Structure 1
Amino acid sequence: MTDREHLWLRLAVDLVILTVRDGQLQVLVIERANDPYQGRMALPGGFLRAGEDLRQAAERELVEETSLDGAVLHLEQLATYGAPDRDPRGRVVSVAYLAIAPDLPIPTAGSDASRACWAPVEDVRDDLAFDHNQILRDAVERARTRLEFTTLATVFCGPTFTVGDLRHVYEVVWDVTLDPRNFSRKVVQTPGFIEPTGTRRIPPTGRPAALYRRGSAEALHPPILRASPGTDG
């Protein structure tokens, strides 16, 4: 094959589904039932079929391998991955999709997956098959950026929440410890981010905490940016 000949390749989709469970940022992973990488953990995904568009393929693979309904998730294209050696079966280009959602159910394995589960990102981010470590890293960075510029974090807090609850989401996704007073000041002063309910949560011990609900804004102006290394968050 010369450099000027057309390249024949296969097109695939991979999915990064992130959620906050048990106080951790977790990702949906499967255990591969077939070669290549049989027995290794990987992101859900598979090859595009005739007559499918990319979104349809992503939804189908998610249902087949994990039983989760991609039609109800906000799937967004993350990036395209096409390194020549990314798949030992041949030249495969993959379009990766990302979804970030709360309260997702326990998955059930199917298709060419022998197991499907939620796993802490910290536990699997260096051990996935193919180039899925890189895809996961890119997805986590996208999620972290979304928290800087949008009100996404409130989705994980329930109908009412304290500023401490909201801070915990940021700490989990960003993998940092934030200064409570500094964070509270930024959140309260950001227009449309949160609204007071006029009620308080009274814990068994300690001081009552004011309860808030999600505000009307979807984008944060100004954004709540991650602190640079060596600065106070």
Structure 2
Amino acid sequence: MITYSEQTRVLVAVDCIIFGFDGEQLKILLIKRGFQPAKDQWSLMGGFVGADENLYGAAERILYQLTGLKDLYLEQLKAYGSPERDPIERTISVAYFALIDINKYKTQISDRYHAEWFLINDAPSLIFDHDIMVEEAKKRIRYKAALHPILFELLPKKFTIPQLQNLYEQVYNTKIDNRNFIRKVNSTDLLIKLSEKDKSSSKRGAFYYTLDKNKYKAKFQSFLNFIPNPEHLISM
């Protein structure tokens, strides 16, 4: 049997960055690490890849074990391999990010590992290089959301245009011109207008919309740019 006996053994882990939207605020889901080093400090959801798992399967398993969440939009970000990133043993981590509607999964989240939602700009400092992972995930989402309609993964089944605009403004940390935004939304032909209105913020109310799932899949690769200023794709 041929082996790579002279090569250094390296552990492989996955870390999951979960972004959620509750209809008003963009948030990130964190847990308290349950073992040393850095026990009881805030952390991303992470764990080691099993011998019989692929990376995506490991990410799905770890998310389910630590939070009870499954069937999420989950996308690979990048690998992190600094020799000093884990103080115990050489570990390469492959990061994934997920986008969810918080209200859809609210009752599904387990509190076994003290999972807690934080406002995206008020999150505590994280262990190891997890803060770097989060910042790079934000940049990736900003880039992709300008080209593809991935932010709809964060929305409830029915939503208003102001709610959609609020989400984009929080992701890009910028104000968006209302008329220009509505024009671009309508031009995508992705939304189905409902007869029902949300009157929680005004008597006139705002019509609810729902996503046309068939057009969403068909147009995913040809989405119009919602964000007029390219610098917002990489700025904080």
Alignment pair present for 1:201 and 2:197? yes
Within-5 A mapping of 1:205-220: 205-215=202-212, 216-217=215-216, 218-219=219-220, 220=222
Matched letter for residue 6 of structure 1: Q
Q: How many residues align?
A: 218
SS class of match (1:57):
helix
Within-5 A mapping of 1:185-196: 185-190=183-188, 192-196=189-193
Instruction: Assess if the C-alpha contact under 8 Å between 1:144 and 1:174 holds in 2.
Output: yes
Matched letter for residue 209 of structure 2: Y
Q: TM-score, normalised by structure 2?
A: 0.81
Within-5 A mapping of 1:161-180: 161-180=159-178
Instruction: Provide runs of 4+ in structure 1 moved above 6 Å.
Output: none
Q: Alignment RMSD, CA only? A: 2.5
Q: Which residue of 1 is the match for residue 15 of structure 2?
A: 14
How far 1:132 moved relative to its partner?
A: 0.4
> How far apart, CA to CA, are the structure 1 residues paired with 2:143 and 2:111?
31
Which structure has the higher relative contact order (CA within 8 Å, separation 6+)?
2
> How far apart, CA to CA, are the structure 1 residues paired with 2:164 and 2:205?
16
Q: Write out per-residue CA displacement over residues 33-91 of structure 1, whole angstroms, 9 at most, x where no aligned residue.
A: 2111112100011112222222222122222222223xx11322111010111110121
**Identity percentage of aligned residues:** 32
Q: TM-score, normalised by structure 1?
A: 0.82
* Residues 43/149 of structure 1: CA separation in 2 closer, same or farther (3 Å cut): same
> How far apart, CA to CA, are the structure 2 residues paired with 1:221 and 1:14?
29
* Residues 189/19 of structure 1: CA separation in 2 closer, same or farther (3 Å cut): same
> How far apart, CA to CA, are the structure 1 residues paired with 2:122 and 2:84?
25
Within-5 A mapping of 1:21-170: 21=22, 23-69=24-70, 72-102=71-101, 103-105=104-106, 107-110=109-112, 113=113, 115-124=114-123, 127-170=125-168
How far 1:162 moved relative to its partner?
A: 2.9
Matched letter for residue 110 of structure 2: T
> How far apart, CA to CA, are the structure 2 residues paired with 1:214 and 1:22?
15
Structure 2 segments unaligned to the other structure (5+ residues): 1-5
How far 1:120 moved relative to its partner?
A: 1.7
Structure 1 segments unaligned to the other structure (5+ residues): none
Higher relative helix content: 2
Instruction: Assess if the C-alpha contact under 8 Å between 2:19 and 2:100 holds in 1.
Output: yes
> How far apart, CA to CA, are the structure 2 residues paired with 1:202 and 1:61?
37
Instruction: Assess if the C-alpha contact under 8 Å between 1:23 and 1:172 holds in 2.
Output: no
